[in-house]
Amino acid sequence: MNIKNNLILALDVMSESEAIEICDSIKENIDTIKIGYPLALAEGLEIIKKLKDEFGFKVICDFKVADIDATNSKICDETFKAGADAIICHGFVGPDSVQACLDMANRHEKELFLLTEMSHPGAKMFLQKDADAIAQMGIDMGITNYVAPATRLDRLSDIRNIVGEDAYIISPGVGKQGGDGKKTLKYSNAIIVGRSIYEADNPKTACETLIKTLK
């Protein structure tokens, strides 16, 4: 996935009108957005196609899919039917559940991102212990896209070493969570930024300022 300015907007707002207003302001600098449950639950999966049609964005659905294989397959199928270009799934559920997501992504000719480790402090308690094994599982399964934290560069570096230079890593946690975008891009292919942009008084200016710091 080729991402403009190596920057993804995490669009975790709660209404279509706010989403459109923000997207309109940053469309010259960003071509990929990440939609999670907040916007999808508030406005329905139809919001994916609306934003794609209006702005031409690539849309990654951050649903952190983490159920049994049969349920994962249904979740991914509906998400891709709605127009998503990629979906994020958890790896801790094991290879059978992840394979269901991968199979559906391949069927729709879309992309799957495997979440190895999350960016918030609580991830250190349970998820971090198995993150390396999750990354290795992904490699063994032929997965090429990963999510790894910008908030812990040592862990991001470890995951990069496991998945290799040819893998594509996107990293959340830059901005409000304390991650440094430029340092993150030493290991990651793109950073994910949400509140620092969409909560700003002027999202366009916030976006442009951030991009300057990445160079």
Q: Which residues are 169's β-sheet partners?
A: 146
CA 130 to mean position of chain CA atoms: 20
Q: Which residues are 179's β-sheet partners?
A: 174
Is 64 annotated as catalytic? Answer: yes
Residue entry with tokens 């958890």? 90
> Of 4, 49, 52, 64, which one is the catalytic site residue?
64
User: One-letter amino acid identity for 208?
Assistant: E
Phi first, then psi: what are they for 113, rounded to 5°? Answer: -110, 125
Q: Are 8 and 30 in contact (CB under 8 A)?
A: yes
Q: Are 9 and 36 in contact (CB under 8 A)?
A: no
How many helices (H) and strands (E) the chain has is answered by 10, 8
| Residues involved in catalysis | 64
